[in-house]
Amino acid sequence: MAAALELDRVTKTYGAMRAVDGVSLSIAPGERVALIGASGSGKSTLIRVASGLSLADRGAGQGIVRSFGVSVQEEGRLSREVRRARRHIGLVFQQFALVGRLSVLTNVLVGALGRMSVLRGTLGLFNEDERRTAYAALAEVGIAAHAAKKARQLSGGQQQRVAIARALVQGAKLVLADEPIASLDPKSAKRVMDTLVTMSRDHGIALVVSLHQVDYATAYFDRVVAMNAGRVVFDGPASKITAAFLTELYGASAEELILPSQFTAPAAPNAELVSAS
C-alpha cells in the first residue's frame, strides 16, 4: 500500500533561511511518528508543507509530497489532486483553532464537511446522521458533554480534543498535529496525547506529532524523527533517544528538549581554566 505520507527532497527557504533542507521521509499507514527538534528547527514548516498549506521550493524532481498515493504538491506547485489528498489528512494545529462562536458540535461538523459548510453549520443545517456521527466522535474523545457549548468556552486541551474529533468525522487516514500540547498543563497534555494515540490505534490512522517535550515523544511513540536546522538528523526507534544522545545531536541546545532533571550540560572545553581563575 502507498505510504500515508511520502516526502521526497523537500526544501523550503524563506529568504536566505533554509527552514527545511532536503528532507525525504516515508510514513506507513497507521504508523505513529514524533517529530522533535529545538525551536526553529523546521518542524512546523515541514508539517505545513506536508499538508499542502505551504509550497516547497521549486526544482526539478524535488519537493514531492504524496499521501496514500495522492499528490499534494510537486516541484513547488500544488497538485491538481490536492483537495482529494487533503480530504484524508486531518490537522490538529494551534493556528487552526476552532470557530469560537460556534458550538463544539458545529465545529466538528463544519471542519469535517469543508469550508463551504460554515454557513450551513451556523444555520444548523445538519441532518440527524451527521449529528450522530459528530456526537459519537466527541464521545470518543471524552467531551460529548460539552457538545452544545461554544468552542471558546472550552479549555485548551478540550479544544484540541475537539480538533481530534473533527479529524475522526472527516475520516482522516493521516493526522498531522503541530505541537498539540505546547501550551497545556501536564494533565491536559497527557489527555490530549492519550486521545491522539488511541485514535490512531483504534482507527489505524497514521499520526505525525511535533513536540518540544522529548519525554512525551519517547513515552508515546516508537519512531522519532529529530530535526536540526531544517534537516533530519535522526530517524529511528524512540528507545535510542536518551538525554546523552540528544546532547550529542544538539549540543547545548538539547537543554530545550530535555527535562531539567535529565539534562547534563556538555563540559565546557575550558572548564578547568575557568574554574582555576
Ligand X SMILES: Nc1ncnc2c1ncn2[C@@H]1O[C@H](COP(=O)(O)OP(=O)(O)OP(=O)(O)O)[C@@H](O)[C@H]1O
Q: Which residues bind Mg ion (CB under 5 A)?
A: 43-44
Q: According to the binding rule CB under 6 A, does residue 14 interact with ligand X?
A: yes
Q: How far is CA 264 from CA 215, 243, 259, in A?
A: 15, 8, 10
Q: According to the binding rule CB under 6 A, does residue 90 interact with ligand X?
A: no
Pairing mode, if any, of strands 206-211 and 17-27? unpaired
Q: Which stretch binds ligand X (CB under 6 A): 40-48, 96-104, 142-150, 193-201?
A: 40-48
Q: According to the binding rule CB under 6 A, does residue 183 interact with ligand X?
A: no
Bridge partners (DSSP) of residue 274 are: none
Residue 96 interacts, among Mg ion, ligand X, none and using kind-specific CB cut-offs from 5 to 8 Å, with: none
Q: Least separation, in Å, of the C-beta of 47 and Mg ion? A: 8
For the record, the C-alpha cell of 97 comes out as: 483553532
Asked if 22 and 197 count as a contact pair (C-beta separation under 8 A), the reply is no
Q: According to the binding rule CB under 6 A, does residue 107 interact with ligand X?
A: no
Asked if 234 and 224 count as a contact pair (C-beta separation under 8 A), the reply is yes
Of 2, 24, 39, 96, the one binding ligand X (CB under 6 A) is 39
What backbone torsions phi and psi does residue 30 show, to the nearest 5 degrees?
Answer: 80, -5
Q: According to the binding rule CB under 6 A, does residue 19 interact with ligand X?
A: yes
Asked if 116 and 164 count as a contact pair (C-beta separation under 8 A), the reply is no
Of 31, 37, 49, 157, the one binding ligand X (CB under 6 A) is 37
**Binding residues vs ligand X (CB under 6 A):** 14, 17, 19, 37, 39-45, 212
